[in-house]
Amino acid sequence: MSKVSGVKGMNDILPGDVEVWQHVERTARELFGRFGYGEVRTPMVEDTALFVRSVGETTDIVGKEMYTFEDKGGRSLSLRPEGTAPAARAYIEHSILNQEPITRWFYMGPMFRYERMKTGRYRQFHQIGAEGYGSKEPAQDVEMMDMVVQLLQKLGLTDVSLNINSLGDDACRPGYQNRLVEYLRAHSSELCADCQVRLEKNPLRVLDCKNERCQQIANAAPNITESLCEPCRAHFAEVQRKLDVLGIKYVVNSRIMRGLDYYTRTTFEFIASHPALGTASTVGGGGRYDKLVKSLGGPDVPAVGFGLGLDRLCLLLKESGQQFSPPVDLFIAAADEGSADVAFGLVSRMRREGLRVEFDTRGGSLKSQMKRADKTGARFTLVLGQNERESGQAQLKPMAGGDAIPVRLEDLASTVREALARPSAPPAS
């Protein structure tokens, strides 16, 4: 019988790696809560129309990358390719504006795009994101960026730069788009086939293209910040001023467009320079989308948000050499068959006491159990045999070396905690 394999681009996350993921998720939850953001969880499947209306029919995401299917009721559904549109849908559907004028949410979970894969870019990928509804002020934009900056700092990822831009709004973007089209038409024969279509349907998307020649053309295109109307110019200037107030370093990068149609005014990206990511150097980004909620049939509510690539953050953390797997406190071995049940009961009791305890449920020779203890990296081991059972006394052995510690079995939990607290008990290497 042939072997069944996982779907290409949809990866298993196994012990040894998952602890890194849990660390990032735990850190983000604690930090975002400190900012006053509550967690929202939306379904992985949504009505396809949600993404067509929000992300944009002419984007690569909708045109090429979505996993779309017809369900048994004949409805067109799609696996979510990003997190903002589902959050906006939930915001509208549950009439959140009627409950509170300012809403701050964050989310974590898998997204799906049929993309060309490379390091840090997969077909099932994971995002941590946040959305803020109800404030049109630049301070809300900067709060979002500050939240990401603080998360990166808490994770120890210092080699990531913040790039910002403004896309203008309905008042000034059409004028810029006309100038951009005029420029691109002069180079249309040099554009890739996809960009020749984009030039006619959505010319701003040409600036997003990953084709090397298209990027060269885009780099010489008119600068959008030079076309901003006065309100957009003032908004962008205030964003920069507030970043300066917080001491957050940034680069104004007029090529930051993002790949989604719903953005207005502020956009930003966090770009890492670590070679582990290859060309997939953007670890996250976002921006303001003041028209999205209304365009989906909701109230006229301004909003801003971001998404971070959890896969890429975890790749960077693994390269940092940090340790995330919590050490095993104690390994208990049964020296003989008559001690197996007593040892098993002691293991259960120690776990109830809050200790991380390993035990080989297969039993076996004492030698094989001690090999297992070495493999777990346990800080201490305790061997339970007939003498220990009858006397209620045992020896707590430090696996990193040093003298054994006499211990009464009834005091085992407190003795292990005291031993773990001593500087003389380092983790086993």
Q: Where are the domains of the chain?
A: 18-172+228-319, 330-418
- Is 113 annotated in some ligand binding site? yes
- 82 marked ligand binding residue: yes
| Selection from 170, 192, 154, 148 nearest residue 307 by Cα | 148
For the question of whether the overall pTM of this predicted structure is more than 0.95, the answer is no
What are phi and psi for residue 54, nearest 5 degrees? -95, -55
- Note the CATH number of domain 18-172+228-319: 3.30.930.10
Annotation-wise, does 25 bind a ligand? no
3-state secondary structure labels for all residues of the chain? CCCCCCCCCCCCCCCCCHHHHHHHHHHHHHHHHHCCCEECCCCCEEEHHHHHHHCCCCCHHHHHHCCEEECCCCCEEEECCCCHHHHHHHHHHCCHHHCCCCEEEEEEEEEECCCCCECCECCEEEEEEEEEECCCCHHHHHHHHHHHHHHHHHHCCCCEEEEEEECCCCCCHHHHHHHHHHHHHCCHHHCCHHHHHHHHHCHHHHHHCCCHHHHHHHHCCCCHHHHCCHHHHHHHHHHHHHHHHCCCCCEECCCCCCCCCCCEEEEEEEEECCHHHCCCCEEEEEEECCCHHHHCCCCCCCEEEEEEEHHHHHHHHHHCCCCCCCCCCEEEEECCHHHHHHHHHHHHHHHHCCCCEECCCCCCCHHHHHHHHHHHCCCEEEEECHHHHHHCEEEEEECCCCCCEEEEHHHHHHHHHHHHHCCCCCCCC
Candidates 3.30.70.1450, 3.40.50.800, 3.30.360.10, 3.40.30.10; CATH matching 330-418 = 3.40.50.800
Residue 124 annotated as lining a ligand binding site: no
Whether residue 258 is annotated as binding a ligand: the answer is yes
Q: Alpha-carbon distance 223 to 207, whole Å?
A: 11
250 in a known ligand binding site: no
Pairing of strands 282-288, 45-47: unpaired
The answer to whether the annotation marks 19 as part of a ligand binding site is no
Is 263 annotated to bind a ligand? Reply is yes
67 known member of a binding site: no
Amino acid at 310: L
Q: What is the residue-level pLDDT of the chain in tens, covering all 429 positions?
A: 889 999 999 999 999 899 999 999 999 999 999 999 999 999 999 999 999 888 776 566 776 789 999 999 999 999 999 999 999 999 999 999 999 999 999 999 999 999 887 777 899 999 999 999 999 999 999 999 999 999 999 999 988 999 999 999 989 988 988 999 999 999 888 899 888 888 888 888 788 787 888 888 988 888 888 899 999 999 999 999 999 999 999 999 988 876 566 788 999 999 998 777 766 688 999 999 999 999 999 999 999 999 999 999 999 998 887 888 888 999 999 999 999 999 999 999 999 999 999 999 999 999 999 999 999 999 999 999 999 999 999 999 999 888 999 999 999 999 999 999 987 544 443
Owner of token pair 């896969």: 311
